Chains A and B, each alone.
Chain A
Amino acid sequence: MGFVEGLKCRECGREYKVDPIYVCEFCFGPLEAVYDYKKIKKSLNRKKILQREKNLWRYKELLPIDGEPQVGLNSGFTPLVETKNLARELGVKTLYVKDDTVVHPTLSFKDRVVAVALTKAKEFGFDTVACASTGNLAHSVSAHGAKAGLKRFIFIPATLEASKITAALIYEPNLIAVDGNYDDVNRLCSEIANKYKWAFVNINIRPFYAEGSKTLGFEIVEQLGWNAPDNVVVPCASGSLLTKVWKSFKEFHEIGVIKKLETKVFAAQAQGCNPIAAALKSHTDVIRPMKPNTIAKSLAIGNPADGYYAVKVVQETGGCGEEVTDQEIIDGIKLLARTEGIFAETAGGVTVAVTKKLIENGCIGKNDTTVICVTGNGLKTQEALNGQMLKAHYIPPNMESFEEVLSNIK
């Protein structure tokens, strides 16, 4: 029943059959799933989508699986929140937050990509799944993999915060803490992936895994009443999410679910890890790798695999890239929480703060409809806020003390 015709090299166009492979053996370019859109156009439309369960699989024809969904049956379909208070604060008319702080089960958009990756891993017949991660992905593979009954090997840098280790270990995967940074972990995992027949979601399953990000974009369009927004602001680590959000809009356009597509795509990064934003600002498509140094650790990829393609999407759509300091990130987290009651992780602070800048410098128009992608929950990165919060009022248990505090409030 699948609609995937095969895999294709994004660089030289060589075609491959559907296998757990991710790189073109001729030119070393990345492989991507190719769909039969004519066939999909005949089988998928708005009415059919609306009849389905509210999870990410309601767009399954546009996802790279052959059989029925097997993992993440409660993932996706997060709220698109119209953020009127935030819009007022930033001086624009219409602003939405795509709120992936509440994706089931581990509170980040990684639950989307892992749902697709593990379904595909099961189709391929793997019994063991693995990943290299600094947090969100580790949590998601650990949790989704537990429910799916898969053996799990999770590789993390040994310096990861204790709270993030707990949030992975509770699902009892094999957690391998590597003495090194994320790039070292990744390099080791590439070697392991060559030797062991495991499904590494972000290595040999990557062409399938990455497609799961499109569901965030499909949902945005559906939740806007089958309209693509004027602007979408997307946080960038590898750059994959940004390219897939754009791809989702293009696919809905291609199969006729939407008629008009004039969205500008904006890339949000932290100043301490800005290879994509920096390339965009200097009007080049050459990504200069860098050593990350930012509190937005989930975005701290110094050598982004999809950086080139992310830059191309932003340039093609007339968007731009912007970056913010660590203090602006914290202020962004606090602004979103104070105005909208949404507690985002540091990456969400990046997106909010970048959006503020884009509005201030006129890149985002005051009458546009803008969607900002908030991709992970603030409970995961609380340490970033140390010393940056209001203080509690500590009192003894009597009315007098309380009323003394009260007299100082307002």
Chain B
Amino acid sequence: MAVKVRIPTPLQKLTEGKEEVEASAGTVIDMIKDLDARYAGISERITDGGKVRRFVNIYINEEDIRFLQGELTPVKDGDIVSIVPAIAGGRI
């Protein structure tokens, strides 16, 4: 089992059109590095200098990581992570 990551439409070009992909557990930032190893280019779109970009929201099981431990929030196997552009539609 791994972490399930939901990919927003504008980033699906990088994930071969997949809406949902898998990544390995760890912290949020580790998980993003792992995603980038599988789907090159995704990290620079959603982070800048190790921080999640201001207009990108990341939810772990529907909770905004800004109100958990930010980039250092642990992500476990079986968790569902959603990457949601804040103003580009599909707000939670």
Contacts and interface: CB of A to CB of B under 8 A. Distances in A.
Contacts of B90: 187, 190-191
A177 interface: no
A135 B48 CA distance: 38
A261 interface: no
A29 B54 contact: yes
Given A11-B54, A27-B55, A28-B53, A289 B64 contact: yes
Given A25-B10, A27-B45, A288-B67, A190 B54 contact: no
A29 B53 contact: yes
Interface SS of A by simple majority: loop
Contacts of A26: 45
Interface in B67-92: 67, 85-91
Contact of B87 (A12, A28, A191, A286): A28
5 contacts: A23-B55, A24-B55, A27-B56, A29-B55, A288-B67
B56 A28 contact: yes
A191 B54 contact: no
B66 interface: yes
A28 B89 contact: no
Interface of B: 10, 45, 48, 53-56, 64, 66-67, 85-91
A325 B48 CA distance: 39
Most chain-B CB neighbours within 10 Å: which of A29, A193, A308? A29
A358 B81 CA distance: 42
A183 to B, nearest CB: 7
B91 A303 contact: yes
Contact of B88 (A11, A28, A308): A28
A115 to B, nearest CB: 23
A11 B55 contact: yes
B91 A187 contact: yes
B91 A27 contact: no
Interface of A: 11-12, 22-30, 183, 186-187, 190-191, 193-194, 286, 288-289, 303, 305, 308
A276 to B, nearest CB: 15
B56 A286 contact: no
A24 B55 CA distance: 10
Nearest to A26: B45
Contacts of A22: 87
Contacts of A289: 64
Contacts of A30: 55, 87
Contacts of A186: 91
Given A11-B55, A27-B56, A187-B89, 11 more contacts: A11-B54, A23-B85, A26-B45, A27-B48, A27-B55, A30-B55, A186-B91, A190-B89, A286-B66, A305-B86, A305-B87
Nearest to B83: A28
A90 to B, nearest CB: 37
B43 to A, nearest CB: 12
Given A11-B53, A27-B55, A308-B54, A190 B86 contact: no
Given A11-B55, A286-B66, A288-B67, A28 B91 contact: no
A318 B56 CA distance: 28
- In the A-B complex, list the 10 residue pairs whose CB atoms are closest, starting with the nearest: A190-B89, A28-B85, A23-B88, A28-B55, A29-B55, A27-B53, A187-B91, A28-B88, A305-B87, A28-B56
A183 B89 contact: no
Contacts of B55: 11, 23-24, 27-30
A26 B56 CA distance: 11
B60 to A, nearest CB: 16
Nearest to A305: B87
Contacts of B53: 11, 27-29
Given A11-B55, A190-B91, A28 B86 contact: yes
Nearest to B8: A28
Nearest to B56: A28
A287 to B, nearest CB: 9
A22 B88 CA distance: 8
A22 to B, nearest CB: 7
A92 B66 CA distance: 41
Contacts of B87: 22-23, 28, 30, 305
Contact of A183 (B10, B66, B91): B91
B83 to A, nearest CB: 10
